[in-house]
Amino acid sequence: MAKVIVAGVGMIPFAKPGASAPYDEMGAEATGLALKDAGIGYDAVQQAYAGYVYGDSTCGQKALYRVGMTGIPVINVNNNCSTGSTALFLARQAVESGAADCVLALGFEQMKPGALGSVYDDRPSPFVEFDRVCDDIVGQPDIPLALRYFGGAGLSHMEKYGTKLETFARIRAKASRHARNNPLALFRQEVSADDVMNAQVIWPGVMTRLMACPPTCGAAAALLVSEKFAAKHGLRSDIRIAAQAMTTDYPSTFEARDMMQVVGADMSRAAADKVYEQAGIGPEDLDVVELHDCFAHNELITYEALGLCGEGGAERFVEDGDNTYGGKVVTNPSGGLLSKGHPLGATGLAQCYELTHQLRGTAEARQVEDARLALQHNLGLGGACVVTLYQRA
């Protein structure tokens, strides 16, 4: 199978709903930046996978036709919050299998303010079973569902391991310290753990407003090429995808009666284990991680799912500073979803953008010293999880 090179990445600054350009303009701009970064024209691209959640069919064509109309296959992808990394997964498969030598993965989202909701109310929701289990375990019908899901998962960890609410606040504060150095992040103001604790209470004893990521608009893109293509066209070939896995839900999602499983802890663990096995490494070998921190609670749960610490050890991991510069592994140097923002279709490719620059050594003030192995974790409820390992040659 062909080695898969990350030849170019592009990302635009994330913005609040109503403050961004339309989705097609954002998608075209991110694509142009990725092409420029790679040093090739759009006519060299043989396939494209365009990811978004909220939009009509063929929005991918609408965005990419602004870049060029070359007749290539454009495949539209929707996998909830893991949409961007699903596009990346498909692009990687196309190159690795030899089906194409130069493939674009694009993600964009033009979001509305407020909590996420269903668009279609005249057919069964894919969340019927998730909602039923959440109602049974959590209750709290007055709290928006996404907050009940992830707040409930955090509450499960608190009840099982004695984790303190302040630990989630420290994760959010860490995100703001990292985002301060990211010009593409939506929120760059540093906040303290006390600021987070004193923010508006959404769920008493479980969550404040600053522990949740905001709806965001944005776009990001990556160009994946074969080693042969990179050599032929004189492209850089120092960053490659060393391993990748996608998982969906297991019976434990519903049968465990644990909100940590409902929000995908087992999916994440299985995907990470597959990646470590493929690459012949362990979590202790990682230098930097971008993980899916849609809520501070999910970041903490994901530390354990990815094996960055032992089961029940996430609070100690945070308290010891092992999740930031000077610790065991720097998590979310970009500021993560909590500070950078979470435009659903773009999130996975924004993670790819950050980790590519980290491995190139071009992340400026965010740079993790001598980073050689980087892990990406992108999770979507409903459900799908993609874990990707990048390696610097």
How far apart, in Å, are the Cα atoms of 237 and each of 234, 241, 265?
9, 11, 34
Report the C-alpha dihedral over residues 213, 193, 149, 20, rounded to 10 degrees.
Answer: -10
Provide the pairing of β-strand 201-203 with 239-247. unpaired
With 0-12 CB in 10 A as exposed, 13-18 as middle and 19+ as buried, what is 311?
exposed
CA angle 28, 382, 4 (to 5 degrees): 50
d(CA 298, CA 47): 34
**Is residue 96 within a helix (H) or strand (E), and if so which, with residue range?**
helix 83-97
* Beta-strand pair 239-247/384-392: antiparallel
Q: Could you tell me where the DSSP H helices lie in 239-346?
A: 252-255, 259-262, 265-279, 296-305, 314-319, 336-340
Token code pair at residue 181: 């150095």
Q: How far apart are CA 382 and CA 98, in angstroms?
A: 31
From residue 68, give the alpha-carbon distance in Å to each of 31, 61, 88, 204, 288: 11, 10, 20, 51, 35
Burial of 189 per CB tally in 10 Å (0-12, 13-18, 19+): exposed
Dihedral angle of Cα 66, 68, 72, 77, to the nearest 10 degrees:
-20
Q: Is 81 a catalytic residue?
A: yes
Instruction: From the candidates 81, 134, 217, 294, give the one annotated as an active-site residue.
Output: 81
Q: Identify residue 393 by its one-letter amino acid code.
A: A
Place of tokens 């090739």: 40
Note whether 43 and 17 are within 8 A (CB). no
Report the alpha-carbon angle 175-179-181, nearest 5: 140
Nearest C-alpha neighbor of 241 from the set 228, 225, 254: 225
Q: Which residues are catalytic?
A: 81
